Amino acid sequence: MIAPPAVRPGLVVVLAFVVALAGRFTLTRAGVDIPVVNDVRVPLFFALILSLALESHHAGHQPAEGGHALIGILALLGYQGISVLWTPPGAVTGPMLGDLCAIAGLLVVYFNLAAWDRDRVTATTLTLFHIAAWVYFLAAAAGLGRQANGRWSALGGGPNVFVRLMILGVITSLYLYLRHGEKLIWLVPIPAFLFGAIASGSRGGLVALGITIVIALLAIRPRIDLERVGKPLGLLVVVGLAVGVVGGPVIAGFVQQRFVQATVGQGYASDRDVLFRMALRIFMQHPLLGTGLNGFNSVSGLDPDLYVHNLPLSVAAEGGAVGLLLLVGAWLILWHAYVGLPVAERGLEARTAAYCGIFIGGTSLFSGDYYDARLMWILLLLAAVHPARARIPISH
């Protein structure tokens, strides 16, 4: 048994979530163009570290199990940072170095929180994701942040950010349903969130959802109780039909154009095929160490604002075989740490965090850069790390 700490993490968990979700926000529009100073993450991180230090001071040192999972991720991030030594001349690396440091900082914070009280921290984080999904959905439904082509987005994030929040809303709805005694009210938001995911027009996000569903079904297949799931499925069908009748006509034309005509009929892939082929070509040209951090733009000759939109291919192009080995190694270490947990430690919170992390990992195959993968690392880390079990002395 693990004795709960006398002091439990409080506001620091909320602050960590805000920092992790906030992404990149600068004060350029407010006239602050000074590097570092205009990055909103700087004061947020300062407040987060100070808050963690103050609360941890009262709780005392909390040892953890699964620390090798953190080391595996930090090894990858450290190698990516060192790769600036061989980037092509003219490559802009400062912002990406800042992103890597921000990810490392977040992971260290969440590791300490998981060591302190993993289940409470994870439960709070998943609940906050559910609340954030509602905020994003309502903002987009009100027309705040939608793109000119009709794709749903909100609060400064693009459609690919929006779809991540929508599917995390679906997963956390299931989590809250199971956590609160299988009360059907927690399942009602699922059709709305799925509607928002479709309205985002993010094909990669929907494919990532499919990948997550397949993995989840393979994991729980032996334990599926058809009688137990019948009532929830019936509710989802009824609510889903109601949402479709009310909101369907709003995006029917958009769905027809985006998913049917453009994707199926014309094979439109938003230039992902071009970016993926270019990344593979660069990897073949620089197979061992890659081009170095943010070297893809310099070598590819494409628009400087473009990036690979695929985490493994991006690591391969800019980190070579060494980077790929570290990426795969980080994933395998996380998996080993998770499956190595005793069954009692692999509870609902850990399992849900793992599925959320798998989903974000799936989206990272189609969209986002290194910093956009931060939620994947955080969620997988929460699934793999837990407070150290108290050792029972052996009597002689």
| Predicted pLDDT at 352 | 95
CA–CA gap between residue 57 and residue 382 (Å, rounded): 22
| Predicted pLDDT at 315 | 97
| Predicted pLDDT at 149 | 73
| Predicted pLDDT at 313 | 96
| Predicted pLDDT at 267 | 54
In a domain, 278, yes or no: yes
In a domain, 343, yes or no: yes
In a domain, 395, yes or no: no
Q: Which domain holds residue 136?
A: 11-56+67-387
| Predicted pLDDT at 395 | 45
Q: Please give the structure tokens belonging to residue 67.
A: 């620390």
User: Which helix (H) or strand (E) covers residue 95, if one does?
Assistant: helix 94-141
206 contacts 197 by C-beta, under 8 angstroms = yes
CA–CA gap between residue 278 and residue 297 (Å, rounded): 10
Residue 187 φ/ψ region, left for φ over 0, alpha for ψ in the -120 to 50 degree band, beta for the rest: alpha
Q: Can you spell out the DSSP letters for 337-369?
A: HHHTS-GGGS-HHHHHHHHHHHHHHHHTTTS--
pLDDT in single tens digits along all 396 residues of the chain = 445 555 678 889 999 999 999 877 665 544 555 555 567 777 888 888 888 888 776 666 677 777 899 999 999 999 999 999 999 888 888 889 989 999 999 999 999 999 888 999 999 999 999 999 999 999 998 888 777 777 888 887 888 999 999 999 999 999 999 899 888 889 889 988 998 998 888 888 889 999 998 888 888 766 666 556 666 667 667 666 666 665 566 666 666 666 656 555 555 566 788 899 999 999 999 999 999 999 998 887 777 677 898 999 999 999 999 999 999 999 999 999 998 877 777 889 999 999 999 999 999 999 889 999 999 999 999 999 988 765 444 444
| Predicted pLDDT at 393 | 44
pTM: 0.88
In a domain, 354, yes or no: yes
Give ∠ CA 245-146-308 in degrees, rounded to 5: 115
In a domain, 61, yes or no: no
In a domain, 332, yes or no: yes
| Predicted pLDDT at 100 | 95
In a domain, 4, yes or no: no
In a domain, 3, yes or no: no
| Predicted pLDDT at 76 | 97
Q: State the total domains in the chain.
A: 1
| Predicted pLDDT at 16 | 94
Return all residues near 156 (Cβ < 8 A) that are at least 6 apart. Answer: 25, 145
| Predicted pLDDT at 116 | 87
For residue 292, give the nearest of 98, 91, 73, 102 by alpha carbon.
Answer: 91
Which residue is it, tokens 């729980």? 220
CA–CA gap between residue 88 and residue 168 (Å, rounded): 38
